[in-house]
Amino acid sequence: MVNVNNLELGEIVAKDIFVNTRYPIVAKNTPISSEHLQVFKAFNIKEIPVLVESIEKTASNKSNKEDVKSENEIVATVENEKVTTNDSFEKEYLEKVEIFKAEFKNWEAGKNIEIIKIREIISPLIKLVLEDRSFLFDLNHYSNPIEYIYHHCISTGLIAATLANKMGFDRGNTLQIGIAGVLADCGMAKVPIMIRNKKAPLTAEDVNEIRKHPIYSYNMVKELSQLKNEMKIAILQHHERLDGSGYPIGLKMERISHLGQIIAVADTFHAMTCDRLYRPKESLFKVIEMIKDSEFGKFDIQVVNTLTNLVAELPIGTKVELSNSEKAEIIFINQLHPTHLLVKLLNNGEIIDLSKETSLTISRVLPKNSD
């Protein structure tokens, strides 16, 4: 057993560590990082079982306090930079949505898509999101029911590009699928606005018209030489589901392109986490669980797991708002179940295991510069 104050980064935890939690807060054989030190402090843990071999291996390093101080200084610098980037991202995003809105209205008027303009809109935003993927959890906060379609197109492109990047796509294909995500719903410009903005329940005729929008989208992009053919197919298929329950054709399994499934997950995730004219938004984390569980069998599991793993990348200390409106900070994320987090309430320091408190969920991730 080693006193927490004497731990050195890189030493190996000797056994699973539980603190009245459903899952271990740190698993056996985990190398100790600065984030683990923060978790130990949050739980007021005094001693940690450490493998003797790992102690000997790090014995020649500088003292733990110096290492921790150095790494914390780096973390603090990065976080300060992210605060600035968060402000610039929101400004950039909202500016690009306004530009896209003008393009969308051009399509409503019958004009053709100018893909160079779409690339100019989405490319700088993709760059910012790939530098800090946690921006994805701010996207639904910017949207509103009246201008939902413009936000949805941009956000679907950003989420699709991020998923593709995390799945190992190269830079060119990441940008291509980002553009395809933006254009997936361009066909909605051909759906009568009275149907798009209808607050009352849709009629069967309304639903039938909306379900034509992937075909409208495909017809609008099929002659664009700068967009790869496989991206055009993905646009056509982004509402198809592996179990055959999708549209416009009702394709199943391998007949649906992998790229189409990436856009499908991105489209569904953003749509369900945004306020709409006919229904309120769902929690980001609840939607991920819904896509994994209640929608199981409809989406490519590799894509779903990639979306889930984005949650695991949220840094310790990220501020969140719970479904009861209380504010908290994340102090632990289980890598096997990333949506089952431990949070500490900001008002009283109480630690809550969200895998046990099933009545509570995270409603949103707060901006990095929030109090």
Q: Indicate which CATH number applies to the domain containing 35.
A: 3.90.105.10
| Three-state SS at 90 | helix
| Three-state SS at 228 | coil
Which run of H or E residues covers position 27? none
- The verdict on residue 287 lying in a domain is yes
Q: Which of 104, 250, 279 is nearest to 191 (CA)?
A: 104
The amino acid occupying position 8 is: E
Provide the pLDDT for residue 294: 65
**CA 159/CA 178 separation, integer angstroms:** 8
**CA 352/CA 332 separation, integer angstroms:** 10
**CA 335/CA 203 separation, integer angstroms:** 44
Q: In this structure, are 141 and 170 located in the same domain?
A: yes
Choose one of 312, 334, 349: the last residue of a domain: 312
Q: In this structure, are 304 and 199 located in the same domain?
A: yes
- Between CA 359 and CA 366, with CA 360 as vertex, the angle to 5 degrees is 160
**CA 246/CA 85 separation, integer angstroms:** 38
| Three-state SS at 50 | strand
- The verdict on residue 46 lying in a domain is yes
Number of Cβ within a 10 Å radius of residue 285: 24
Provide the pLDDT for residue 74: 36
Q: In this structure, are 185 and 117 located in the same domain?
A: yes
- The verdict on residue 192 lying in a domain is yes
Q: In this structure, are 326 and 212 located in the same domain?
A: no
Tokens of 71: 């790494």
- Between CA 341 and CA 357, with CA 270 as vertex, the angle to 5 degrees is 25
Which run of H or E residues covers position 319? strand 319-322
Q: In this structure, are 206 and 134 located in the same domain?
A: yes
Choose one of 292, 312, 332: the last residue of a domain: 312
Residues in the chain where the model's pLDDT stays below 70:
19-23, 25, 35, 42, 54-86, 294-295, 335-336, 368-371
Q: In this structure, are 141 and 275 located in the same domain?
A: yes
Strand 319-322 to strand 47-48: parallel, antiparallel, or no bridges (unpaired)? unpaired
The amino acid occupying position 303 is: V
Q: What's the CATH code of the domain at 166?
A: 1.10.3210.10
Range of the domain at 358: 319-365
Provide the pLDDT for residue 241: 95
Provide the pLDDT for residue 46: 80
- The verdict on residue 259 lying in a domain is yes
Q: In this structure, are 148 and 192 located in the same domain?
A: yes
Residue 23: alpha-carbon gap to chain centroid: 23
Q: In this structure, are 95 and 36 located in the same domain?
A: no
- The verdict on residue 308 lying in a domain is yes
- The verdict on residue 78 lying in a domain is no
State the total domains in the chain: 3
- The verdict on residue 75 lying in a domain is no
**For the chain, what's the residue count?**
371
- Cβ neighbors of 206 (< 8 A, separation 6 or more) are 195, 198
Q: In this structure, are 148 and 34 located in the same domain?
A: no
Q: In this structure, are 355 and 209 located in the same domain?
A: no
Q: In this structure, are 17 and 114 located in the same domain?
A: no
- The verdict on residue 250 lying in a domain is yes
- Secondary structure of the chain: what % helix, strand, coil (to 5)? 55, 10, 40
- Between CA 316 and CA 319, with CA 317 as vertex, the angle to 5 degrees is 125
Which run of H or E residues covers position 351? strand 351-353
Tell me: the pLDDT tens digits for 331-356?
A: 888 766 777 788 889 998 888 888 78
DSSP 91-155: HHHHHHHHHHHHHHHHHHTTPPP-HHHHHHHHHHHHHHHHH-GGGGGGHHHH--STTHHHHHHHH
Q: In this structure, are 251 and 160 located in the same domain?
A: yes
Number of Cβ within a 10 Å radius of residue 55: 15
Q: Which of 285, 236, 259, 276 is nearest to 136 (CA)?
A: 285
Which run of H or E residues covers position 68? helix 64-108
What distance, in Å, lies between the first and last C-alpha atoms of the chain? 37
| 233 close to 257: Cβ distance less than 8 angstroms | yes
